[in-house]
Amino acid sequence: MVPLHYYLLVSALLFAIGVTGVLVRRNAIVIFMSIELMLNAANLSFVAFSRELQDLSGQLFVFFVMVVAAAEVTVGLAIIVTLHRNWKTIHVDAIRMLKG
């Protein structure tokens, strides 16, 4: 059996990559993909702990996280499409209406 630490390390690496993606990329769609990566990292931790603690609630949580992620993706992508319609770009540096 692969120990819990290994899974947590993979999960932490995925989360780190996701945070880095949000920080360094300027394309709104790629930023969104990075957010998905972070959600998946959390899911991996949930399932790993679920096996370690012998409690299926962790997998139940992952199910709900997936539902929320799916809803979030649809709304977020609709916002990106609307942004593109109004600004003709999804480069987040170019969209600065709230910045003044």
Partner 1 sequence: MELFLFVTFSALTVGSAAAVVWHPHPVKSALFLILSFFSMGGLYLLLQAEFIALMQVLVYAGAVMVLFLFVIMLLNLKPRGEDRAAFKVRVRWAVPLVLFFVGGVLTAVTGALARLAPAGSHGPDWVAAQGGNIRALGRLLFTRGLLPFEVTSVLLLVAVVGVMVLAKKERR
Angle, in degrees to the nearest 10, between helices 4-24 and 28-53: 170
Residue nearer to partner 1 on the CB measure, 89 or 98: 89
DSSP state at residue 35: H
The residue from 10, 35, 42, 95 that contacts partner 1 (CB under 8 A) is 10
Binding mask 13-42 for partner 1 (x = CB under 8 A): xxxxxxxxx-xxxxx-xx-xxx-xx--x--
Q: How far is the CB of 87 from partner 1 (least distance, A)?
A: 11
Answer yes or no whether residue 7 interacts with partner 1 by CB under 8 A.
yes
Q: Map residues 49-88 to x or -, x wherever contact with partner 1 holds by CB under 8 A.
A: -xxxxxxxx-xx-xxx-xxxxxxxxxx-xxxxxx-x----
Task: Please enumerate in sequence order all residues whose Cβ is within 8 A of that of 94, keeping only pairs 6 or more positions apart, or say none.
Answer: 87
CA separation, residue 92 to residues 26, 40, 52, 63, 99 (Å) = 5, 24, 41, 31, 12
CB of 100 to partner 1, least distance (A): 23
- Nearest to 61, CA basis, from 76, 75, 40, 43: 43
Q: Which is nearer to partner 1, 75 or 98 (CB)?
A: 75
